[in-house]
Amino acid sequence: MLTTLLLAALSPVAVEVAVAIDKPKPAVGERVVATYTATVPEGTSLTIDTLVSPKPTEGDAAVSGMAFEFEPVAPPAIEKTSTPGTVLWKQQIAFASFAAGSLPVPGPHINVTSKDGSKTTVRAAATRIEVSSRIPEGQKPEELAIKTDRGVRLPARSAWFWGGLAALVLLLAFAVWALFRKKKAPAVEAAPVPKLSPAEELDESLERLAREADVLGEDSRDFYSYLTHAVKRYLERRLDMPVLEWTTFETLRRLRDAGWDMPREVGLSELLSGADRVKFGRGRSTRQEARENLDRARKLRDALEAQHLARVARLPGAVAREAAAPPVIRKEKAL
């Protein structure tokens, strides 16, 4: 009997997460906010683990990849309830759909940590939205008529305008004449300057950030901005992909689609999502958490360098030597 009571006390809290949509019938690209709520015992913590996007309908050529584009997730709100010992957990997730039609909105995976430390993962309730297309019904994009250009009436120019323009042309002509009249110094080509490899550049940034982590204060937004920039620049240089232009969600999805699989121990999703929480959600980070994220960046470097060398090894000899060689830049000629 005592054992049964102990197991019941230590078992994870049963949590049901409901969902409400502010715009059940949005247009393509329009912002939609899904509000997830759950009533839980005080001391229970709920954290979004994974956002889920449906795949576009087959034959939808206007969309590639996932149908939803999510915004960075803000911290949840905790409200008191009329029931003693319970609170209302509320989490808003904003997204836009780039596919038309009746689309499911899958519930995200949520990590639940009870007051006693026991953990479990639940799935929030799902719903649907009816996304309307901006293209007239019955027409295809290629059938839309091109709008005709409208005529533009140019205002008359005054004499001051033409006089000033003539003076500017004369001044420019004099500058060109004086430039070509001046004797040129012999051009000297500088020697090639070796550039740091992607891994070396990342190491240099991580060493500097490690010193900042030891004295990290309450506001760590600058630290995580520099950290994510260093990691994304490393990914951009190593993979030759515009990673700095992507959001966290796009980065994870496009790396996976390109076949660059990161081992679970790297924790790239935790690194980028945690940094977004601090930068955009005004979350806080301890010095230990900062050091752990620096360690994730080093594990990312080791895993990606190993995959890169494995791919280079499979290339033909000359191509492999060129791919493995460190990049070199040349200074412009000095005059």
Please check the confidence at residue 137 and state whether its pLDDT lies above 60: yes
Question: Does 143 fall in a domain?
Answer: no
Q: Quick count: other Cβ atoms within 10 Å of Cβ 290?
A: 22
pLDDT of residue 277: 85
Q: What CATH number is attached to the domain comprising 102? A: 2.60.40
Average model confidence (pLDDT) across the chain: 80
Judgement on whether residues 10 and 118 belong to the same structural domain of the protein? yes
Question: Does 84 fall in a domain?
Answer: yes
pLDDT digits (tens, 9 = 90+) for 279-297: 887 778 888 988 988 898 8
Report the DSSP beta bridge partners of residue 69.
96
Judgement on whether residues 54 and 124 belong to the same structural domain of the protein? yes
Q: Which of 131, 156, 180 is the last residue of a domain?
A: 131
Question: Does 265 fall in a domain?
Answer: yes
Alpha helices in 131-267 (DSSP H): 159-181, 198-213, 221-239, 248-257
Question: Does 167 fall in a domain?
Answer: no
pLDDT of residue 39: 93
pLDDT of residue 147: 62
Question: Does 181 fall in a domain?
Answer: no
Residues 189, 332: Cα–Cα separation, whole Å: 7
Domain span at 39:
2-131
The pTM of this model reads: 0.40
Please check the confidence at residue 36 and state whether its pLDDT lies above 90: yes
Residues 47, 38: Cα–Cα separation, whole Å: 12
Question: Does 37 fall in a domain?
Answer: yes
pLDDT digits (tens, 9 = 90+) for 250-267: 888 888 888 877 777 778
Question: Mean pLDDT throughout 28-33?
Answer: 90
Question: Mean pLDDT throughout 136-154?
Answer: 65
Question: Mean pLDDT throughout 57-62?
Answer: 51
Predicted confidence band of residue 332 (pLDDT cuts 50, 70, 90): very low
pLDDT digits (tens, 9 = 90+) for 74-119: 899 999 999 999 999 999 999 988 888 888 999 999 999 988 889 9
Least confident of 8-17, 34-43, 130-139, 191-200: 8-17
Question: Does 288 fall in a domain?
Answer: yes
Q: Give the chain's domain count.
A: 2
Question: Does 40 fall in a domain?
Answer: yes
Judgement on whether residues 125 and 204 belong to the same structural domain of the protein? no
Backbone phi and psi for residue 224, each to the nearest 5 degrees, phi listed first: -75, -25
Q: Quick count: other Cβ atoms within 10 Å of Cβ 212?
A: 17
Predicted confidence band of residue 187 (pLDDT cuts 50, 70, 90): low
End-to-end CA distance of the chain: 91
